[in-house]
Amino acid sequence: MFDYAHLEALLAVEREGSFEGAAKSLGVTSSAVSQRIKLLEERIGAVVINRQAPIKPTHVGIELCRHAELVSMLEENIISANDCVPAAKDHRRPVLKIVVNDDSLSSWFMDVFIKDAAKDAAYMFEVSIADQDYSIDELKYGSVLAAISINKTPVQGFTSRYLGTHIYRATASPAFVERYFPNGVTLEALQRAPALRYSAQDDLQQQWIKENFGKEILHDTYILPSSPGFVQACLGSVAWGMNPSQMVDKYIASGELVELVPGASLDKALYWHCSRMVSDPLKYFTQYVVEAAEKHLDQSERHD
């Protein structure tokens, strides 16, 4: 059996990214956290923390973190299901790691947390941001228990549920279009016009260009890791970008933004992936995810 005080220390290091931060969150000293981690490593005969910056769990450490979260969830279920079992005075709700793409978090996913909080949320969530095209890697590596992804097929041990389609529009301000596309949107003009890119992984611009013009091109880009920042940059004539329809349709309606090619959207079907081991405890949270998605995402084409 594991000593769960040791696992709690490991979870805290993963969450805070340092021994000092972990100690502060647990109300103990840094040396106490270090000692607990050392004892855990001696117990299993393997290193669980990479102590070189950035400090983070090793692969076996990540597996132990998810195991600790699952145990915390089971304990929470026992306490909540039995009135005769009093919660400890220092009882804290389990913290679960999930991955959500920034476009969803900025446009509709907050409705999930609002509804969950209104129902006295049983769990806290640590949300990591990852591109929906690559979040499946977090599931394969065991870093999280649930995620939003464009992948329909779940990885082993997970379920997959269709949420809806995110519609992206290539948008810019009228002033930007007048400056960079006076003779229309062409490949040559797109090579000169600066675009927005969320991160090195983000290639929605290239996907849209290839889908509408038949090839990928080299062009200047701003790296701007913020979905609301994308919209503001477009409104301010900084660049053009691929923006979720939920975030820009009102600006298109008002004339503050225009589509580079009207009606030429880039559509991304999204799926909610959840570990089978937590699917039952998270059934209400998953229900809130599905309800929010059905309200905000395009449902015209089912991808079940």
| Reported confidence tier of residue 68, pLDDT bands at 50, 70, 90 | confident
Beta partners for 242? 170
Q: Report, as an integer, the average pLDDT of 7-28.
A: 88
Is 140 among the domain residues?
Answer: no
CB 28 within 8 A of CB 104: no
Q: Closest by alpha carbon to 139, among 288, 282, 38, 276?
A: 276
Q: Domain count of the chain?
A: 2
pLDDT at residue 212, rounded to an integer: 96
Q: Which of 86, 118, 147 is the last residue of a domain?
A: 86
Q: Looking at mean pLDDT, say which of 13-22, 41-50, 100-109 comes out highest.
A: 100-109
Is 263 among the domain residues?
Answer: yes
Is 97 among the domain residues?
Answer: no
| Reported confidence tier of residue 91, pLDDT bands at 50, 70, 90 | low
Ramachandran region of residue 208, left (φ > 0), alpha (ψ -120 to 50) or beta? alpha
Q: Report, as an integer, the average pLDDT of 200-217.
A: 94
Average pLDDT of every residue of the chain: 90
The fraction of the chain above a pLDDT of 70, given in percent, is 94
Q: Closest by alpha carbon to 299, among 147, 162, 138?
A: 162
Output 186 or 76, whichever has higher pLDDT. 186
| Reported confidence tier of residue 302, pLDDT bands at 50, 70, 90 | low
pLDDT of 89 strictly over 60: no
Q: Report, as an integer, the average pLDDT of 146-151.
A: 96
Q: Report, as an integer, the average pLDDT of 21-48.
A: 89
Output 87 or 122, whichever has higher pLDDT. 122
pLDDT at residue 80, rounded to an integer: 62
| Reported confidence tier of residue 154, pLDDT bands at 50, 70, 90 | very high
Q: Which of 29, 59, 86 is the last residue of a domain?
A: 86
Output 93 or 299, whichever has higher pLDDT. 299
Least confident of 1-15, 98-112, 144-158, 162-176: 1-15
Is 72 among the domain residues?
Answer: yes
pLDDT of 112 strictly over 80: yes
Peptide bond into 54 cis (omega under 30): yes
pLDDT at residue 84, rounded to an integer: 58
Cα separation values, 43 from 2, 11, 35, 46, 103, Å: 8, 17, 12, 8, 42
Q: How many CB atoms lie within 10 A of CB 99?
A: 25
pLDDT of 82 strictly over 80: no
Q: Which of 61, 86, 111 is the last residue of a domain?
A: 86
Is 75 among the domain residues?
Answer: yes
Give the structural domain span for 18: 1-86
CB 282 within 8 A of CB 289: no
Is 257 among the domain residues?
Answer: yes
The fraction of the chain above a pLDDT of 90, given in percent, is 59
pLDDT of 143 strictly over 70: yes
Is 127 among the domain residues?
Answer: no
Output 237 or 34, whichever has higher pLDDT. 237
Is 145 among the domain residues?
Answer: no
54: CATH: 1.10.10.10
pLDDT at residue 86, rounded to an integer: 57
246: CATH: 3.40.190.10
238-286: per-residue pLDDT in tens?
Answer: 999 999 999 999 999 999 999 999 999 999 999 999 998 888 888 999 9
